[in-house]
Amino acid sequence: MSVSEAVPVETQQDTALLIAELHLLSLHGGDDASALDRMLEHVVQGFGAVSGCLAVLDEAQPDQIVITAGVDLPAGALGSRIALGSGVLGSVAAHGKPRLLAGARPGAAQRDLGVPASSICWPMMIKSRLIGALSINRTAGSVAFTQDDVERGATFVTVLALLVDNAGMRSQQQQRIDHLSTLNAEMLAINGELKATQAQLLQSEKMASIGQLAAGVAHEINNPIGYVYANFNTLSGYVTDLLAVARGGGGGSAKPLDLEFLSEDLPDLLRETRDGLDRVTKIVRDLKDFSRVDTSDAWESADVLAGLESTLNIVQNEVKYKATIDRQLVALPAVCCRPSEINQVFMNLLVNAAQSIPERGVIRLASGFDDEQVWVEVADTGKGMTPEVRNRIFEPFYTTKPVGQGTGLGLSLSYTIVQKHHGRIDVDSEPGRGTTFRVTLPRRQPEASGVALPKEAAHV
């Protein structure tokens, strides 16, 4: 049966049919206002009425009902408010009892004005809860409504109340969904901002470490360059003297040339100078290895212990005055990682270890692996941490170091890097005894299935 043609309601079966049709209409979709219009139209048709109106309780002002749907209503009636208790609709809604108005025959003037000759007005209730009110009208000349019509209508008005209530709940639900979507969008935006801030922080932490590194490396290079330069001056003096002897002169200096001394000192000078130059070359190579300036940000199959050694050389200036390095390393298989990031983790751990040692101590480096993962430990004999400090060390900006010495970003950055590698950082620390950090990394990365991992162990 089409939902657009209502059967006149004369029997109980008709009422049931009308209810079923109303239900179909409510499921029919469209916005709630047009669904209510269609339902009301259906009821008006089903009861052979000519006009009707449906008013719903205003939840924001529960002492008023609002005309929400209408069939053949006077202009401007839709949307108007009726106080509970006032007028026929208002008082039916207030008292919860239907009313039949089917009395006086209207005069000609009233007929012209379309004044109804017969009306029924039902309250729409669910148990004792008011949902709204509905009225239908017949004009003069047609058969007046009877008490029977009032009773027949009572059931479907209850059904209509349920449908209206349901529609209200749907719209509330929609409002909640809209609200949640807005919140979600806001959260996504905040998340984006946080990510941008974190990226900026990482950048500034990198800049700070680069500054710290540059100072350390400058110091490390300065030393060999210093003695290469001094040796070079001595050598140029020797060469001048030797050239003078070769030309048959008595030497540039006042004293005679001591060939025996020269033949002993010259090889030493040259060896020391070569050592100095080797040292500078090594520092530059380590610096390159550490920063991996020549590689992209891609996953690589790498020997993390080689990275640890390069990093150790880079931070020599921070470490060598504080600690002796005790290596308890076993060679590790290649690990799929971003080597420059892992080196940055090692740098933070090594510098922290050195800074935790008040005067002199030991930094122990250890390693191990199984089929799935490798681990590297950096342990110190420094001052250790209380449980309170230990619980906060991975928080960004948490530092116990004096202003200007620590930014408190080293470990939070390291944590992020290790997490991105699907690994773990474990800490074991006791005040006065020292601290052990263990970095565990999986040997393979899910994102980097294309990176080949050689089977043989790398050499330390």
Ligand X SMILES: Nc1ncnc2c1ncn2[C@@H]1O[C@H](COP(=O)(O)OP(=O)(O)OP(=O)(O)O)[C@@H](O)[C@H]1O
Interaction site with ligand X (CB under 6 A): 348, 352-353, 356, 380, 382-385, 389, 393, 398-401, 406-412, 435
CB of 195 to ligand X, least distance (A): 20
Q: Which residues 326-355 are close enough to bind Mg ion by CB under 5 A?
A: 352
C-alpha distances (whole Å) from 228 to each of 234, 237, 275, 287 are 10, 14, 9, 21
- Among the residue ranges 27-35, 58-66, 310-318, 405-413, the one whose residues contact Mg ion (CB under 5 A): 405-413
Which residue lies nearer to ligand X by CB, 91 or 352? 352
- Among the residue ranges 38-46, 89-97, 182-190, 409-417, the one whose residues contact Mg ion (CB under 5 A): 409-417
Quick one: what does residue 401 bind among ligand X, Mg ion, none, with the CB cut-off 5 to 8 Å set by partner type?
ligand X
Helices (H), 329-409: 339-356, 387-392
Which residue lies nearer to ligand X by CB, 134 or 345? 345
Tokens 């933070």 -> residue: 348
CB of 236 to Mg ion, least distance (A): 45
Q: Which residue is nearest to ligand X (CB)?
A: 410
The partner residues of 338 in beta bridges, in order of sequence, read none
Which residue lies nearer to ligand X by CB, 130 or 379? 379
| Encoded tokens for 145 | 């409504």
224 lies in the binding site for Mg ion (CB under 5 A): no
Question: What is the SS3 assignment for 294?
Answer: coil
Give the separation between CA 119 and CA 313, rounded to whole angstroms.
98
Give the separation between CA 357 and CA 428, rounded to whole angstroms.
16
Which residue lies nearer to Mg ion by CB, 18 or 349? 349
Contact 102, 111 (CB under 8 A): no
CB of 327 to ligand X, least distance (A): 18
Kind of pairing, strands 64-71 and 361-369? unpaired
CB of 239 to ligand X, least distance (A): 48
The full length of the chain comes to: 460
Number of residues interacting with Mg ion: please give it, by CB under 5 A: 2
Which residue lies nearer to ligand X by CB, 51 or 352? 352
Give the separation between CA 292 and CA 443, rounded to whole angstroms.
20
CB of 362 to ligand X, least distance (A): 12
Which residue lies nearer to Mg ion by CB, 175 or 203? 203
Q: Give the largest Cα separation in the chain, rounded.
A: 152
Question: What is the SS3 assignment for 259?
Answer: helix
- How far out from the chain centre does Cα 23 lie? 44
407 lies in the binding site for Mg ion (CB under 5 A): no
Footprint of Mg ion on this chain (CB under 5 A)? 352, 410
